[in-house]
Amino acid sequence: VLVPLVTSSPIRTLTRSADRMFLLRIEHEMGTYFRSSFLYSFSLQGAWLFLGWVTLLPLYKHCLGPDAQPFLLMLALLLLLKIANLLASWQEGRFAVERTRFVSISYRWAASLVLIGIQFHYSSLWASLAALVLVFVWLLAFRSVAKYVIGWDYLIAKEKQQQARLYAFFNWFVDVPQLPTRIARRGPISGLTRMIPFRQDSAFLY
């Protein structure tokens, strides 16, 4: 329950397609704006994480009884992990290579799963020490990868995805503007067509 709340860390920047043209020349001066975006995203996601932890707290107390760790200590570590994931998510938006971003996201999910497991099975202290090691490994691994100053294309694509999710939700209640259809390659499915001969007599199967 907690791993998705900690690891899923999109940063809402409210960027638009036109921003590539009009804001590219002043991207070095937009630090304050993006810091506000970071705080906005952390506030919303931190609130959901808090609610998730509060929901699980009775079960945690019931299972461990007097051995349960302090509520605020565990919450503090979970929020610190959320901040680390948000910072990593921002850096991923700057990566120039898509495969590098995929590796970083996979690493964050695995690391969050391990750290939350250590926190609940051992203690927050051991989880904190493990977190320092994993953060250091991440910094070392992605220190020299190619980065943009600001990954405009990635940020704009993420905003379009978020807008599409909101439209899909509100479409249950009211009519909403339609976004362009998102086209994504389906590798495993398209690979099946290679087994079918590309001939006229196989057109129906293909």
More confident residue, 49 or 201: 49
Mean pLDDT of 129-134: 94
Q: Residue 191: pLDDT above 80? A: no
Instruction: Please state, for a pLDDT cut of 90, what percent of the chain lies above it.
Output: 43
DSSP assignment, residue 24?
Answer: G
Q: What is the DSSP string of 64-79?
A: HGGGPPPHHHHHHHHH
Ranges of H-type helices in the chain: 2-7, 19-22, 31-64, 71-94, 98-121, 124-141, 152-170, 187-192
Instruction: Please state, for a pLDDT cut of 70, what percent of the chain lies above it.
Output: 97
Residue 36 is predicted with a pLDDT of 93
pLDDT class of 182 with cuts at 50, 70, 90? low
